[in-house]
A and B are shown apart, each in its own frame.
Chain A
Amino acid sequence: MPPAPPSGARQIWRRLRGRPAALTGGVVIVLLVLIAAGAPLLAAIEGQDTTSYHPGLVDSASGGVPLGHFGGISGSHWLGVEPGTGRDLFARLVYGARVSLGVAIGATILQVLIGVAFGLAAGLGSRWVDSLLSRVTDVFVVMPALILAIALLAVVPGSFPRPVLLTLVLGFLAWGGFAKIVRAQVLTQKSLDYVAASRLAGSSPWRTARRELLPALVAPVLTYAAITLPTNIVSEAGLSFLGIGVTPPTPSWGQMLSSATTWYQADSSYVLLPAVLLFVTVLAFTVFADGIRTALDPRAASRLRVGTRAGRRGAGTADSAATPADAASGIPGPADPRGGGAA
């Protein structure tokens, strides 16, 4: 591997490696992405699909509760079946991951693109451009995005592909935070010598932005994106829960959770499956985002290096050794579990 630049991927990786919680989150995310990507394969291995009804697997006279234990778990239906319809829950859950992750990732990318464009333009533009764009950004920041999303989703005709629409609505409504961060960063960097030098050397604003500013934006934007992504997952689930997300028969976790709410007493596994998956996904992304944030934080970085070295030197783990360093630096440490004996 070539020597990495100070804030390069290798360094991030080195810093992340010392944080088991963030690593676990990362592993879970990779697994979830694999599940989503491999949904058709997984369903094929199980031998089921998401839409086939199995009337024989539910007790029609008792409201359609699945026959058998734990929601009808069996060799051919690994996680049981849906009450009423008898549709396979494993297939619906793995396909549901596609909607949850796809919409959330798509919306986050959209938010980053719009936010960076607005932030850069505001930070580099004239005072007039800056105040105009900043006001527009303010509007999007204070806007109750979820309520507006509900309104938008309710009026768009059903023929428009729903996952795409969800991505667009979430992406176009909630980019304000990115724009603010980018603008602030640009304003700080703009006055630094290296940027001034580039400008004096005759670079166009566009070239300055691309060559000098964008690399400096990677860390804050990446951190904010990692924090925003789980929010988008929850938003998608919320909208689907309200019945205005993806349309049937496309499965989605939020939609499953919504159908399952009345069943919590009669068929609790039906509620638990989407709920636990959603919880694990959001937790994994949040923990991972926290790890990224710490890894990219220049102040935290110095602490980490101390901690890592201390870990190598002493008998304790990197984490436990990092504790005194945290205390010494006077900066509150990230709230990750300090499992001393984990290593």
Chain B
Amino acid sequence: MRHLPVTSRRIGVIAIGLALAGGAVACGPKSGSDAKAGADATPHQGGTLYVLNNQAQEDFDPARLYTSGGGNIPSLVYRTLTTRNRADGAAGTKVVPDLATDTGEPSKDATVWTYHLKDGLKYQDGTPITTADIKYDIERSFAPELSGGAPYLRDWLVGAADYQGPYKDPKGLSAIETPDAKTIVFHLNKPEGEFPLLATQTSFAPVPKAKDTGTKYAEHPVSSGPYEVVSNENNGEHIVLKRNPNWSATTDGQRKAYPDTIDVQSGIDQAVINQRLSAGVGKDADAVTTDTNLGPAELAKVSGDKSLAGRVGTGHFGYTDYIAFNPKVKPFDNIKVREAIAYAVNRTTVINAQGGSSLNEAATTFLPQQAAFGYTPYDPFPAGADGNPAKAKELLKEAGYPNGLTVTLTHDVTKGDEQGPEVATALQEALKVAGITVKLDGQEHNAYSDKIHNVQSEPGFFLAGWGADWPSGGPFLGPIFDGRQIVKGGDNFNNAQLDDPSVNNEIDAINKITDLKAAAVRWGALDKKIGEQAVTVPLYHPVYKRLYGKDIRNVVISDWTGVLDVSQVAVK
């Protein structure tokens, strides 16, 4: 499980990158206008959709891509065993079949998962898709030369821990069986009720062995989705996709594929992307972005302009920004001190420092506010939106600090970052009112990340954030609170170094549950139980606000990704 946290964190980092530019319009009414834009203009096939992005779509190889739910652009080219439901809001957190006929048949204890392929599935060249090709891509994802993908399978598949990929070890993985061209069976070394959610990732896409060109495969991959790659320049900086004639909507109920061509241009400054989308001149009217949010100032400008405000999509990606404590450092070993800080926190000023109430929602639970994660509302330290300094002072007195306390808050110096100086300064001011003097220790971005993720150097009181690879409580709570996931040498995400047998056992018990709804309820209860220990203070959940072009229709934003789904967008 060593790698698991890294992966989840990386998704988090991507989310932060996206959120950096973030700004917003008032939530409720704006999503209404989004719906309107989609409804009264019926989407039609044809045209070219332009995607304006900041980050390049690097390593466009299904074995190397690290995606949540199969990704946005990748999902246009790669179909997977299962995929995310392409629907607005909470409905979009469901996992649905893609190449497979269902989301998987588990064995009784959820250690064996069996999938059958639909009929009539073809690659772009018309050859049939087989389960052997899916197995082959999974094996490729273990090859050191094709690194980058999610590490879960190495942990989960029987005997896969040291597998080096099909180039060095052509015998393949015995944990994956393909009894016939349409059946694939996975043998796991422990119960994993969330296997169908993992099967949305692009390592579960088919790659025909005969067409595999190793590290060059990303330039001309063989498409199983509605689009094929015309060109992929400079490692994903400019990708052009055209319609795949051998893809059929009859086998794919999820992707709408309205435009004939999709042109993905990256390396554009975030401010420029927002400026171009708001101006909407020429081709930019047919443009969207999949990685650039509106920033606070941009939101302020958009809010004052009705025509622009109607072109803002609002999304919720499951993410939590929080205060992390290391109880091994004094005085944070004292739960009363941690509770005092939890009471003193003023979420209003923290949220304002991060762009205001349209870009963030106050958090008192560690799990994001979505049923799929198991969200169960609770607030163990009810202090209201503005904090309760009087109660905090009382707790400090009980903790033995009647005259207040001086502590150091470690944060990232990157301006606008979710762990950045704006949040730290807002906390400093709020805690001052409660008699806690906060000294700020700002660290350079990479140094900060190294410092807080190493148990040797971890400070006592710092800022952190967490997002999950799929919408469930498992990848959200496990890496942060599972005592067996404490990593000694670095890449540790269990900030509190919490190793509570009752928590660990409950995590194991929930992983056995294959009914995701039932599991969600248990995750919610576990979150509440951990929350009472005050080893973290949840601050806020970011909200994504993104502009799209004037002629864009059928905007669908799921709570899985929080981002407009490119497979649903039409330009005509």
Closest residue of chain B to A266 (Cβ to Cβ) is B300
B435 to chain A, nearest CB (A): 15
A264 to chain B, nearest CB (A): 8
Interface residues of A in 2-38 (CB under 8 A from B): none
Q: Choose, from A107-115, A130-138, A255-263, A283-291, the stretch at the interface.
A: A255-263
Q: Choose, from B179-187, B222-230, B418-426, the stretch at the interface.
A: B418-426
A52 to chain B, nearest CB (A): 7
Closest residue of chain A to B413 (Cβ to Cβ) is A243
A119 contacts chain B at the CB level, 8 A cutoff: no
B73 contacts chain A at the CB level, 8 A cutoff: no
* Cα distance, A154 to B444, chains bound together (Å): 8
In the complex, which of the residues B296, B442, B443 has the most CB atoms of chain A within 10 Å of its own CB atom? B296
* Cα distance, A84 to B298, chains bound together (Å): 13
Asked whether, in the complex, the Cβ of A85 is within 8 Å of the Cβ of B353, the reply is yes
| Chain A, interface SS category | loop
B37 contacts chain A at the CB level, 8 A cutoff: no
Closest residue of chain A to B22 (Cβ to Cβ) is A63
B399 contacts chain A at the CB level, 8 A cutoff: no
* Cα distance, A265 to B294, chains bound together (Å): 14
Given A262-B271, A262-B296, A265-B301, check contact A62 B440 (CB 8 Å): no
Asked whether, in the complex, the Cβ of A84 is within 8 Å of the Cβ of B441, the reply is no
Asked whether, in the complex, the Cβ of A158 is within 8 Å of the Cβ of B441, the reply is yes
B478 contacts chain A at the CB level, 8 A cutoff: no
Q: Choose, from B131-139, B356-364, B390-398, the stretch at the interface.
A: B356-364
Asked whether, in the complex, the Cβ of A60 is within 8 Å of the Cβ of B357, the reply is yes
In-complex Cβ contact of B304 among A62, A83, A158 (8 A)? A62
A249 contacts chain B at the CB level, 8 A cutoff: yes
Asked whether, in the complex, the Cβ of B426 is within 8 Å of the Cβ of A159, the reply is no
* Cα distance, A264 to B301, chains bound together (Å): 10
Per-position contact with A for B408-438: 1 when CB-CB < 8 Å, else 0?
0000011100000110111011101000000
* Cα distance, A182 to B506, chains bound together (Å): 76
Closest residue of chain B to A65 (Cβ to Cβ) is B300
Asked whether, in the complex, the Cβ of B422 is within 8 Å of the Cβ of A84, the reply is yes
Interface residues of A in 25-74 (CB under 8 A from B): 51-53, 55, 58-65
Per-position contact with A for B183-197: 1 when CB-CB < 8 Å, else 0?
000000000000000
Q: Which residues of B contact A86 (CB under 8 A)?
A: 352
A329 to chain B, nearest CB (A): 52
Q: Which residues of A contact B357 (CB under 8 A)?
A: 60-61
Asked whether, in the complex, the Cβ of A267 is within 8 Å of the Cβ of B429, the reply is no
Q: Which residues of B contact A263 (CB under 8 A)?
A: 297, 300
Interface residues of A (CB under 8 A from B): 51-53, 55, 58-65, 83-86, 154, 158-159, 243-244, 247-249, 258-259, 262-267
Interface residues of B (CB under 8 A from A): 23-26, 271, 294-301, 303-304, 346, 348-349, 351-359, 386, 413-415, 421-422, 424-426, 428-430, 432, 439-444
* 26 A-B residue pairs with CB within 8 Å: A51-B432, A53-B349, A61-B24, A61-B25, A62-B303, A62-B356, A62-B358, A63-B23, A63-B294, A63-B296, A64-B352, A64-B353, A65-B297, A84-B354, A84-B356, A84-B422, A85-B352, A86-B352, A158-B443, A159-B439, A243-B414, A243-B415, A243-B421, A248-B425, A266-B301, A267-B300
Given A55-B348, A243-B421, A263-B300, 20 new contacts (CB under 8 A): A51-B425, A52-B429, A55-B352, A61-B356, A62-B299, A64-B355, A65-B300, A83-B296, A83-B297, A84-B296, A154-B444, A158-B440, A247-B421, A247-B442, A248-B425, A262-B298, A264-B297, A266-B297, A266-B301, A266-B304
